[in-house]
Amino acid sequence: MTTAVLITGASSGIGRATAERLLRRPGFTVYATARRPETIEDLRTAGAQVLALDVTDESSMAAAVRAVEEQHGSVGVLINNAGYGEYGTIEEAELDAVRRQFETNVFGFSRMIQLVLPGMRAAGAGRIINIGSMGGRVTFPVGGYYHATKYAVEAITDALRFETAPFGIHASLIAPGLIRTGFGATAARSLAASGSAAGPYAELRAAADEQMAASYASPVLAAEPDTVASAVEHAATSGRPRARYTVTPAAKAIVQSRRFLGSGLFDAYLRLQFRK
């Protein structure tokens, strides 16, 4: 029997790259999911099972997990990938938009874990791979609420890893740096809509927008989605999966810089980066 892999948010970016990579690996049945399954019909053609799954909808999540369990007994690997970035300053961000972001990035993410764990415990095995971000270790201006969701992913994964180990279940965190997906464009749109052009944070938001565009265009700072998919594959297949995978050299350098510089020096670095 093959291992069932359930991937949330497989319509683009990291989720799609992960589905494509694992479809090439023997021993897996890949369940690719998206809110609109018609966007991933090409993955069906490539050999994936395609399901509708919206991580903000309880019945949708439960139905997807149930469909996998009916065929395989349990979800063998959950790849918790669905998420996005809602950007804006702490003062100006619309809290309804912030709540929607938490609903996807934290509560939907958590509910998927809750739904797959009973089957994994019964099977005595399973892997949960949570896609976080270097933004769960480092915080940049105008992204505070997004970073808060990724700090939550870090905390939940750390607790989960300890809680589920006695049942033969491994939990790993994938913490990518800048990855060339639709994430940057979504973040930029939300940032542009988050405040007035004449508002008190207008210069900061403009500087952040320029910084974001330059960073995602950089061949040194940004990487392709398959770089992350490779780390996910290791977490899914290794006999000793790591607790945490920080992906891209730039992400590793930034996380370590924040750790060693401390708040004062890191804030000074940010002032140089986010000024016009």
Which of 79, 17, 3, 80 lies closest to 230, judged by CA?
Answer: 17
For tokens 């049942």, name the residue: 167
Task: Annotate 169-216 with DSSP letters as a single string.
Answer: EEEEEEEE-EESSSHHHHHHHHHHTSS-TTSTTHHHHHHHHHHHHHHH
How many of the other CB atoms lie within 10 Å of CB of 250? 17
Contacts of 196 (CB under 8 A, 6+ apart): 202
Q: Contact at 8 Å (CB) between 55 and 111?
A: yes
Task: Show which residues are catalytic.
Answer: 146
What is the spatial distance between Cα 220 and Cα 218, in angstroms, rounded to a whole number?
5
Strand pairing class (49-52; 244-247): unpaired
**In the 8-state DSSP scheme, what is residue 1?**
-
